[in-house]
Amino acid sequence: MATTDLSAYDKNDLPNVKGFRFGIVTSEWNPQVTENLTLGAIDTLIDNGVSEEDIITWKVPGSFELIYGCKKMLESRNVDAIIAIGCVIQGETKHFDFVCDGVTQGIKDLNLTYDVPTIFCVLTDNNQQQSLDRSGGKLGNKGVECAVAAIKMAALNKR
């Protein structure tokens, strides 16, 4: 788990993405976490010159559904990168392992299948406090970090 501020970045190190279009697909599960991650991503994109009109946001029921939501966005919208946002917290059953593995492999598969980067912004924490700490708490906001990754990958894809 990260032990530094996830929100720290230097705008001067990022490419110009004005006019680029970004998609964000967010899980509705654990909304106190995923909504903060989404806000962090949106604020970062806007802070780096992306217009609000060029940010498409969709919601899906849970993290496992991120794969299908991202796939549909890749097929139906003209976007330069997508950020898949979710939160899976360890419970008492193997469900955590299956969901985490499935989402990880699914997003990997999207990156291999489509020529648009899909950024993995799915927190997989041991408890709710760890997720809160990484979604705007003492460790910053992973949504910011993933928006920075989306900016870099979208620009790389345009080269």
> Domain 23-158 falls in which CATH fold?
Rossmann fold (3.40.50)
Instruction: Give this prediction's pTM.
Output: 0.95
d(CA 7, CA 134): 9
Residue 124 confidence (pLDDT) above 90: yes
Longest dimension (CA), the chain: 46
As to burial, measured by CB atoms within 10 angstroms (0-12 exposed, 13-18 middle, 19+ buried), residue 14 is middle
Convert the pLDDT of each residue in 71-106 to its tens digit: 999 999 999 999 999 999 999 999 999 999 999 999
Of 157, 127, 149, 152, residue with least CA distance to 40: 149
Residue 2 confidence (pLDDT) above 80: no
Residue 11 neighbours by CB distance under 10 Å: 11
Q: Tell me what the mean pLDDT of segment 9-37 comes to.
A: 97
Residue 8 binned pLDDT confidence (cut-offs 50, 70, 90): confident
Q: Which residues contact 124 (CB under 8 A, 6 or more apart)?
A: 88, 96, 100
Indicate the domain borders of the chain: 23-158
Packing angle, helices 95-113 and 66-76, rounded to 10: 20
Q: Which two tokens stand for residue 152?
A: 């870099």
Q: Which of 77, 95, 108, 158 is catalytic?
A: 95
Residue 3 confidence (pLDDT) above 60: no
Of 157, 136, 132, residue with least CA distance to 44: 136
Residue 24 binned pLDDT confidence (cut-offs 50, 70, 90): very high
Q: Are 147 and 37 in contact (CB under 8 A)?
A: no
95 is catalytic: yes
Q: Tell me what the mean pLDDT of segment 130-151 comes to.
A: 97
Convert the pLDDT of each residue in 132-142 to its tens digit: 999 999 999 99
